[in-house]
């Protein structure tokens, strides 16, 4: 069974894409069901893959880089919990951007979704 991208797109918190001093961030909120990924693949921004060592998420107060996700350190998505995904490696302009996120889930393989939203300045 493969979960369609249009369902996974519901993870994205609309309007949360924001520019930061040295990159961008956005939020995902799990309303679909608890789960975890044993691997994350590079985020894409407007079709370009981003450095996984510069892409992070926070879990239980700890910042984890995308390249550190493994069977021993999974990317977990608890129900109704919001997670911030951040990239530091170059500021982006305000306005529309397309962001893609892909991950590997045990028993399901590679899943992913993308969204287009207007980035706004945070702060």
Where in the chain are the domains?
5-114
* pLDDT tens-digit readout, 80-113: 889 999 999 988 999 999 999 999 988 888 999 9
Give the integer Cα–Cα distance in Å for 56 and 65.
4
Supply the CATH classification number for the domain 5-114: 2.60.40
Give the pair of three-digit tokens for residue 22. 């040295």
**R_g over Cα of the chain:** 14
Are 117 and 100 spatial neighbours (Cβ–Cβ below 8 Å)? no
pTM for this prediction: 0.92
pLDDT band of residue 123 (cuts 50, 70, 90) is: low
């Amino acid at each position: 069974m493969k979960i369609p991208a249009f369902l996974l797109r519901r993870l994205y918190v609309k309007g949360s894409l924001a520019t930061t001093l040295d990159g961008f961030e956005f939020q995902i909120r799990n309303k679909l069901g608890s789960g975890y990924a044993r691997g994350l693949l590079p985020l894409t921004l407007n079709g370009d893959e981003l450095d996984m060592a510069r892409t992070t998420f926070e879990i239980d107060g700890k910042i984890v880089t995308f390249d550190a996700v493994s069977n021993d350190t999974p990317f977990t998505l608890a129900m109704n919990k919001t997670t911030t995904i951040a990239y530091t490696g170059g500021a982006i302009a305000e306005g529309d951007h397309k962001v893609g996120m892909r991950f590997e889930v045990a028993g399901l393989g590679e899943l992913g979704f993308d969204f287009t939203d207007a980035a706004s300045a945070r702060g």
